[in-house]
Amino acid sequence: GENVEQHPSTLSVQEGDSAVIKCTYSDSASNYFPWYKQELGKGPQLIIDIRSNVGEKKDQRIAVTLNKTAKHFSLHITETQPEDSAVYFCAASIGGGYQKVTFGIGTKLQVIP
Amino acid sequence: NAGVTQTPKFRVLKTGQSMTLLCAQDMNHEYMYWYRQDPGMGLRLIHYSVGEGTTAKGEVPDGYNVSRLKKQNFLLGLESAAPSQTSVYFCASSYSRQGQGTYEQYFGPGTRLTVT
């Protein structure tokens, strides 16, 4: 089955700096790669996603890149703010109808004011 | 819309006791999922359902049973709780958006279960 590795497990950055979280996946059939943000005491919430026919996607301060050949994808957060502090999960799935999503172990991001 | 709701929010069980976790969604989603979240292990799929009356095993199904008698509800049962089932449980739902390739899962707020 699919295996998703995520690193780092913890990340501390100064407010205003950039943060990068990296993930690799094993199943070349995976074609949908979402990123979820989980705030303390809440369920994960989708913040951005990318499909395998796209190399990069941006949404304001957040961007995701995908390298299908190398089977890795990354989350980039620019101009970090204290409210970006949370746990971030990458995931991979074969999209279409029901999706069996495999999650990474999560990255705890701390933005220091 | 309330989205995905879970009942209860917290529960403490003794080893061997049974309980049912209830998940409800008001978005008319076809697909529903139960995950458990443990430190350092991310989210692991327990069981899932692709429609009313259907269920299937996920990655870690042992010790759990599920039922989906109504489209909007997905129940997770523990027949004989064990300390290894101490975890935070999340329910999620999603739908198939044909041709658009977006498959967001909507998560509930979670149930924190402790088995002593």
Q: Per-residue pLDDT tens for A13-68?
A: 999 999 999 999 999 989 889 999 999 999 999 999 998 888 999 999 999 999 99
A85 vs A65: CA distance, rounded Å: 21
* One-letter amino acid of A81: Q
Sign of the Cα pseudo-torsion (A20, A87, B104, A7, in order): positive
- Quote the pLDDT of residue B103: 76
Q: Decide the pairing of beta strands A86-92 and B64-67.
A: unpaired
Q: Residue A95's CB: how many other CB atoms inside 10 A?
A: 22
- Per the CB < 8 Å rule, is A43 touching B31? no
- Per the CB < 8 Å rule, is A41 touching B109? yes
- Quote the pLDDT of residue B97: 67
Nearest to B100 by CA among A65, A32, A73, A60: A32
**Between A93 and A67, residue with greater pLDDT:** A67
* Model pLDDT for residues B79-113, shown as the tens digit of each residue: 999 999 999 999 999 887 665 555 789 999 999 99
A6 vs B108: CA distance, rounded Å: 23
As beta bridge partners, residue B47 has B34, B57
Task: State yes or no: pLDDT of A81 exceeds 70.
Answer: yes
- Quote the pLDDT of residue A2: 86
- Quote the pLDDT of residue B39: 87
All residues of chain A having their beta carbon less than 8 Å from the beta carbon of residue B94 are 99
Q: Give the residue-averaged pLDDT of A67-74.
A: 95
Mean model confidence pLDDT for chain A: 93
All residues of chain B having their beta carbon less than 8 Å from the beta carbon of residue A51 are 101
